[in-house]
């Protein structure tokens, strides 16, 4: 697997560079109004308004994935502009999410609304969605495969916004509410996070002419990757230390987020401990959080989460092996799936 | 002209009905999530979440105009879906504008954010932009004229968001600031309001196959209509009574909006009266407002605004006469332009 991992890293880096240039081009074409400099700042590009830290740039994961998959299926003319579209869309959702969640910092820098106010945050985000549409319309004008991929992306983008709605609904309810279920949580993260990775992969293939069955398989591969990615995030928020994640230890618990381990524990014997602590309004103490973690571990919530991640990774790997691509590319996609789990430093496949 | 006016009314009503059904179809296809009911409420359709008043429906002016013009140029397959797109876009901007301006009521009903909170307001608006894109992508897939019209619309939509940015900039500055000029104000309303009417007209023609010159003429016609419309709004806010407009008399002055009559007056001898009153933080009294109106009239700001409106109407009418359509349709477009001015009850052409 070592060669697949090296190859993966090299090809992803190449794809990232291409994607990054496309994103920058889309912003450069937009114009010189300071509104676009707010977007350049957020996307990590130099601009006269505010210099972003190198960390603001982001990893261009979704766009690189789209280009990589298109390449595996023989390449497509519309993949570069579609890649810019998915990257701009992902970051647009972050600009508005930061307002909705009141988050003042992202990637170690002030968020758009924090820097320029909520009105500019909403409006600059709106400008970015229109740049997304511009990318999709361009792809649509290139060829019928580009059009089909663009329509698939638009449909999925709407699903992501639905995922955000579902997240609001879950957040507004108490942990004891009948609508707050494992299934509801999994459906929320599927829509909010996983399907965007699904469509990065699927649109890459579709733009290169994959048929319906293969496009669906690609979607499933990416969606499984996305589910594993989000659940790994939930896992490390509780069971990895700050040094590994760069985020506050047990941040999700302090925020009383109703993630998978919490819901699993609630449904498997930890209800009496969790419900009162989650119903309170006061901040949780260090002691409360330690008690919650011990309780989660006592009912096997960590193992259940790991099992769930492993099953998504296995699903992704299985689908990768059935794709009509060469063995080297199959191995590369399998290596990518396993990398997500390994990144947690916890899950051993 | 009486027959043109009757004909105009009949054909606009027909176009409105078609456009309205397309908008409703776009929302119905979107799905049953309550998020879409928020949009149905705002667009004036029945839904299980909140019944809208009949006034919420809006007049579907932009979409009706798009269909009417497409019809004048022989019709197009993509016009209905483009009409839905422009109507959804216009209303999406209102959903986010209401948040940005803190407006709690629109068309006599609570705004989306007022009813469901800012987060839902932002997110439901985002969903609506994706429905706009869906319409444009569909049009793009119908034929090359539909694609060209969709790209023109996307480009203009981005300009509308730029207009909102320019409005923020003007609002943030004092009346005495060097960047607050008549030209800056006219450019702001051109982008924020006029070009959307311009593109309704232009995209209607373009979708039916008009060439570049005619498309540009159509844009100019609509843009001139839009300028006249917005400046008429500025005029009646000061010089029409509440019974005529349904809005508070002199609302723009109480809000210290820097509209055309104010800027004209400032530059033509009323600086010493206006600047101190606009620099204060306390609400303007009835006496202050009366003094401002007298001052505006004293320096000819009303006449200057009327002249400006008339010149836009004449420009629109002139362009209409040069379009490659039959005389009956030319007269109809001229009647439409004159109707805007007449609606103020002040401007006599």
Q: What is the DSSP string of A241-294?
A: -HHHHSS-TTHHHHTT---HHHHHHIIIIIHHHHHHHHH--SPPPHHHHHHHHH
pLDDT at res. B6 = 84
Query: Could you read off the pLDDT of B219-269 as tens digits, one per residue?
Result: 999 999 999 999 999 999 999 765 666 666 888 999 999 999 999 999 999
Closest to A162 (Cβ–Cβ): which among B35, B118, B120? B35
pLDDT at res. B151 = 98
Contacts of A174 (CB under 8 A, 6+ apart): A180, A278, A279
Contact A151 B129 (CB under 8 A): no
Integer Cα distance of B309 and B305 in angstroms: 6
The fraction of chain B above a pLDDT of 70, given in percent, is 95
Please name which of A196, A221, A193 lies closest in space to residue A73, comparing C-alpha atoms.
Answer: A221
**Does A302 reach chain B within 8 Å, measured CB to CB?**
no
Residue A244 has pLDDT above 90, yes or no: no
Residue B53 has pLDDT above 80, yes or no: yes
Averaged pLDDT of chain A: 94
User: Could you count the other beta carbons within 10 Å of the beta carbon of residue B82?
Assistant: 33
Find, in chain A, the residue whose alpha carbon is nearest to that of B92: A126
pLDDT at res. A349 = 46
pLDDT category of residue B4 using cuts at 50, 70 and 90: confident
**Does B137 reach chain A within 8 Å, measured CB to CB?**
yes
pLDDT at res. B113 = 98
Indicate whether this model's pTM tops 0.90: yes
Chain A CB contacts of B35 below 8 Å: 161-162, 165
Contact A154 B137 (CB under 8 A): yes
pLDDT category of residue A4 using cuts at 50, 70 and 90: confident
Averaged pLDDT of chain B: 94
**Does B157 reach chain A within 8 Å, measured CB to CB?**
yes
CA distances from B270 to A280, B184, B289, B302 (A): 60, 19, 14, 13
Find, in chain A, the residue whose alpha carbon is nearest to that of B157: A130
A109 forms bridges with which residues in the sheet?
A106
Chain A CB contacts of B122 below 8 Å: 96, 99-100, 122
Please name which of B147, B152, B158, B133 lies closest in space to residue A150, comparing C-alpha atoms.
Answer: B133
ipTM of the complex: 0.96
The average pLDDT across A89-112 equals 97
Q: Which two tokens stand for residue A296?
A: 């989660």
Residue B1 has pLDDT above 60, yes or no: no
Find, in chain A, the residue whose alpha carbon is nearest to that of B119: A100
Contacts of B320 (CB under 8 A, 6+ apart): B221, B330, B333, B334, B337
CATH class (in words) of the domain with range A1-175: mainly alpha
The fold of the B211-349 domain, in CATH, is: Farnesyl Diphosphate Synthase (1.10.600)
Q: Which two tokens stand for residue B81?
A: 């879906």
The average pLDDT across A126-154 equals 98
The average pLDDT across A119-125 equals 98
The average pLDDT across A70-95 equals 98
Q: Where in chain B is the domain with CATH 1.10.600.10?
A: 1-160, 211-349
Least confident segment among A100-114, B210-224, B239-253, B300-314 = B239-253
Query: Could you read off the pLDDT of B107-156 as tens digits, one per residue?
Result: 999 999 999 999 999 999 999 999 999 999 999 999 999 999 999 999 99
Angle among Cα A302, A304, A308 to the nearest 5 degrees reads 115
Residue B349 has pLDDT above 60, yes or no: no
Residue A342 has pLDDT above 90, yes or no: no
The fold of the B1-160 domain, in CATH, is: Farnesyl Diphosphate Synthase (1.10.600)
**Does A172 reach chain B within 8 Å, measured CB to CB?**
no
Contact B162 A137 (CB under 8 A): no
Q: A-contacting residues of B 23-52, CB under 8 Å?
A: 30-31, 33-35
**Does A126 reach chain B within 8 Å, measured CB to CB?**
yes
How many angstroms separate the CA of residue B92 from the nearest CA in chain A?
A: 10
- Site from B86, B165, B172, B192 to mutate, A interface, most A CB atoms within 10 angstroms: B165
Query: Could you read off the pLDDT of B77-90 as tens digits, one per residue?
Result: 999 999 999 999 99
Q: Where in chain A is the domain with CATH 1.10.600.10?
A: 1-175, 211-349
**Does B136 reach chain A within 8 Å, measured CB to CB?**
yes
Residue B41 has pLDDT above 90, yes or no: yes
More confident residue, A209 or A237: A209
DSSP assignment of B147-179: HHHHHHHHHHHHHHHHHHHHHHHHHHS-TT-TT
Contact B161 A30 (CB under 8 A): no
Contact B151 A137 (CB under 8 A): yes
Number of H helices, E strands in chain A: 17, 2
Chain B CB contacts of A147 below 8 Å: 137, 140-141
Chain B CB contacts of A184 below 8 Å: none
Chain A CB contacts of B129 below 8 Å: 126, 129-130, 133
- Site from A117, A120, A123, A191 to mutate, B interface, most B CB atoms within 10 angstroms: A123
Contact B137 A119 (CB under 8 A): no
Contacts of A300 (CB under 8 A, 6+ apart): A268
Are A56 and A95 a contacting pair, CB within 8 Å? no
**Does B339 reach chain A within 8 Å, measured CB to CB?**
no
More confident residue, A346 or A135: A135
The fraction of chain A above a pLDDT of 70, given in percent, is 95
């Amino acid at each position: 697997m070592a060669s697949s991992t090296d190859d993966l890293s090299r090809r992803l880096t190449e794809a990232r560079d291409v994607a990054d240039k496309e994103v920058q081009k889309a912003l450069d074409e937009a114009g010189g109004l300071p509104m676009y400099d707010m977007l350049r700042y957020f996307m990590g590009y130099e601009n006269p308004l505010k210099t972003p830290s190198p960390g603001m740039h982001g990893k261009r994961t979704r766009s690189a994935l789209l280009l990589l998959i298109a390449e595996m299926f023989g390449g497509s003319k519309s993949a570069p502009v579609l890649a810019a579209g998915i990257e701009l869309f992902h970051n647009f959702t972050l600009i508005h999410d930061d307002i909705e969640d009141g988050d003042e910092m992202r990637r170690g820098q002030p968020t758009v609304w924090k820097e320029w106010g909520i009105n500019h945050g909403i409006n600059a985000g709106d400008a970015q969605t229109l740049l997304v549409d511009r990318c999709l319309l361009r792809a649509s004008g290139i060829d019928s495969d580009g059009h089909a991929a663009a329509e698939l992306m638009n449909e999925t983008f709407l699903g992501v916004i639905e995922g955000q709605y579902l997240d609001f609904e879950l957040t507004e309810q108490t942990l004891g509410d009948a609508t707050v279920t494992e299934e509801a949580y999994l459906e929320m993260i599927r829509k909010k996070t996983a399907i965007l990775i699904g469509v990065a992969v699927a649109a890459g293939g579709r733009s290169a002419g994959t048929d319906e069955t293969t496009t669906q398989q690609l979607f499933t591969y990416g969606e499984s990757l996305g589910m594993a990615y989000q659940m790994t995030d939930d896992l490390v928020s509780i069971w990895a230390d700050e040094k590994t994640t760069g985020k506050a230890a047990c941040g999700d618990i302090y925020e009383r987020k109703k993630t998978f381990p919490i819901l699993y524990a609630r449904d498997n014997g930890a209800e009496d401990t969790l419900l009162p602590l989650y119903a309170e309004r006061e901040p949780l103490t260090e002691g409360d959080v330690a008690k919650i973690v011990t309780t989660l571990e006592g009912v096997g919530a960590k193992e259940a989460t790991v099992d769930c991640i492993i099953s998504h990774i296995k699903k992704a790997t299985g689908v990768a092996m059935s794709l009509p691509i060469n063995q080297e590319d199959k191995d590369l996609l399998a290596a990518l799936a396993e990398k997500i789990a390994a990144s947690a430093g916890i899950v051993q496949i």
